[in-house]
Amino acid sequence: MDSVDDLLRRLEQLNDIGTALSRERDIARLLDSILLAAKSITHADAGTLYRVTDDGSALRFEIIRTASLGIAMGGVSGKSIDFPDLPLKDAQGQPNDSLVAAYSALHNQTVNIADAYTAEAFDFSGTRQFDARTGYRSQSFLTVPMKDHEGDVIGVLQLINATDPVSGLVRSFSSSDQSLAESLASQAAIAITNRGLMSQLEALFESFISLINVAIDEKSHYTGGHCARVPALTMMLAAAASAASTGPLASFAMSERDHYELKIAGLLHDCGKVTTPVHVVDKATKLQTLFDRMALVDTRFEVLKRDRELEALRSQLALRPVVDPAGEAAVMARARSDMVTWDEDREFLRNTNRGAEFLSDEAVRRVRDIGTTNSWRNADGVETDFLTADEMENLSIRGGTLTGAERDIINYHIVATIKMLEQLPWPKHLKNVPEFAGGHHERMDGKGYPKGLTRDQMSVQARIMGIADIFEALTAKDRPYKPGMKLSQAMEIMSKLRSSGHIDPDLFDVFVSEQVYLRYAEQFLDPWQIDEVGGLA
């Protein structure tokens, strides 16, 4: 008989276990806790936890523990279990009632056996073989089905060799052992089911996030890569910052939930780009809209040259019937001189259109001169300026390929991101996602957008994402308007951004000292981009 004190102690332990199980998020630790708790409250030396396979055809070994033999397999032990699953039906499709664990699952019934060697209803040949190999003596068995809130069996808890806490001798499992084990199995099944439902919901949620990124990727495969790389770099830097034990970030720490929250924010940081027109996102040249209008400009140059040649030929004909070879040659020479000039202007506009170099004041004036001093006869036969006002505006862009209006369109994606994310009913552990995701274009000096926040007004996580976003953009090799930078060049620019108040200096110091940039480069950059990074000011 169990003592009253021991029974009360075990009931209190059962309550504590139930509370602990409800808090555990990691499924491996959860299963480990269930089996260890069952062994503890029943004084069992050994135990096995099985789970029903997804197709419901068998029981899969999840955790095996035998204290007296030092056996620990599955769960958090790190040692895999290579035992075959226990089929719930035999080759003829009949219930596999010969195996006690299968019987318990099939019939939703607890089986309490005092001595496996004298039990005749079940096949314990495998148990006898194990005992012969190890010198163990498997005696008492308590096999309990684990039922979820709907009464479906999701697993089996099997305990072996109840031990008397005073004498240390193996005994049979008592009725109180069975009741406690059944109660624990019920709580455990609900905890496992809840954790499974949470995992499924999280997987579904992340799939929806992936769906958004796929939509962005389908619009532009350039931004699709960005949506995958920024979260990866964000988590690398977050882990390094969280691990810092000295310096300004020594007090910064992130829990498992904090890391998950930041991961979700990283995946969603550019979701507003679904609203951005693709011809702006992918604008590879200054004249590109739905197509590169440089082709139209090229055609106009050909029209100019054709018209000039025709004009020269008419002038030559006008000199006849007087024979004037010198005059005819002079006419054609002037025409050829104009054509050479136009060829030079065309090559200049082609280079300007690429946006690879900063445009000087002189270059801007030359664009204007080409656009206004030349005229051509359009399809309607009307003499008009060689370049339209919009073409001259685009070709006069000082740096890059975007006009001010187009930059506003690009920048609006962050406003759209914030609007979209703030509409969602975030649970408590994800409530900061809009702030983290919406702050990656802010600056430490308050000159960023869209809110003009200063460093003190931003979370560390948002500042981390800002660094990740910029560094990925500098090194990305899949953008239509620029090649990916080498590591040394990107890090030099990042260092200048640190000094100018653009990015967080403390986080950048961790980025450098922990070589986060190098770990990212080894995973995502081409070998030719990874060069030596010198001292950074």
- For residues 19-30, average pLDDT: 69
Give 400's pLDDT tier (boundaries 50, 70, 90): confident
Burial class (CB in 10 A: 0-12, 13-18, 19+), 175: exposed
pLDDT at residue 11, rounded to an integer: 63
Instruction: Tell me which of 74-83, 181-190, 414-423 is least confident.
Output: 181-190
Choice among 183-187, 205-209, 498-502 with the minimum mean pLDDT: 183-187
pLDDT above 70: percentage of residues in the chain: 92
Q: Calculate what percentage of the chain has a pLDDT beyond 90.
A: 55
CB contact at 8 A, 282 and 291: no
Where residue 452 falls among pLDDT bands split at 50, 70, 90? Answer: very high
pLDDT over 90 (residue 408): no
Among 5-9, 133-137, 531-535, the range with the most confident prediction by mean pLDDT is 133-137
pTM exceeding the 0.85 threshold for the entire prediction: no
Give the residue among 105, 236, 238 at the shortest CA–CA distance from 517.
236
pLDDT at 364 over 90: yes
Statement: residue 330 has pLDDT above 60: yes
DSSP H or E segment with residue 414: helix 404-422
Does residue 195 or residue 417 have the better pLDDT? 417
> How many residues in total does the chain contain?
537
pLDDT at residue 18, as a whole number = 64
Residue 254: predicted pLDDT: 95
Position 33 scores a pLDDT of 81
Q: Phi-psi bin for 425: left (phi > 0), alpha (psi -120 to 50), beta?
A: beta
Whether residue 103 is predicted with pLDDT greater than 90 in this model: the reply is: yes
The token pair that represents 7 in the structure block: 């029974």
Q: What is the mean pLDDT of residues 372-390?
A: 87
**What six digits make up the tokens of 477?**
């090799």
Average pLDDT (455-466) is 96
Task: For residues 348 and 343, give the distance between their C-alpha atoms in angstroms, rounded to a whole number.
Answer: 9
Mean pLDDT within 457-470: 96
Q: Sorting pLDDT into bands at 50, 70 and 90, what band is 107?
A: very high
Residue 176 reports pLDDT greater than 80: yes
Q: In Å, what is the CA distance from 411 to each residue of 2, 145, 418, 442, 465?
A: 72, 57, 12, 11, 16
Alpha helices in 46-135 (DSSP H): 100-107, 125-134
What would the DSSP string read from start to end of 446-513?
A: S--SSS--BGGGS-HHHHHHHHHHHHHHHH-S--TTSPPPPHHHHHHHHHHHHHTTSS-HHHHHHHHH
pLDDT reading at 492 higher than 90:
yes
At 375 the pLDDT is 86
Is the model more confident about 94 or about 26? 94
Between the alpha carbon of residue 480 and those of residues 297, 354, 356, 441, 473, the distances in Å are 21, 10, 11, 21, 12
pLDDT tens digits for 4-19? 666 666 666 666 666 6
Confidence of residue 217 (pLDDT cuts 50, 70, 90): confident
- Of 124, 53, 54, which is closest to residue 84 (Cα–Cα)? 53
Task: Look at residue 1 and tell me whether its pLDDT is greater than 60.
Answer: no
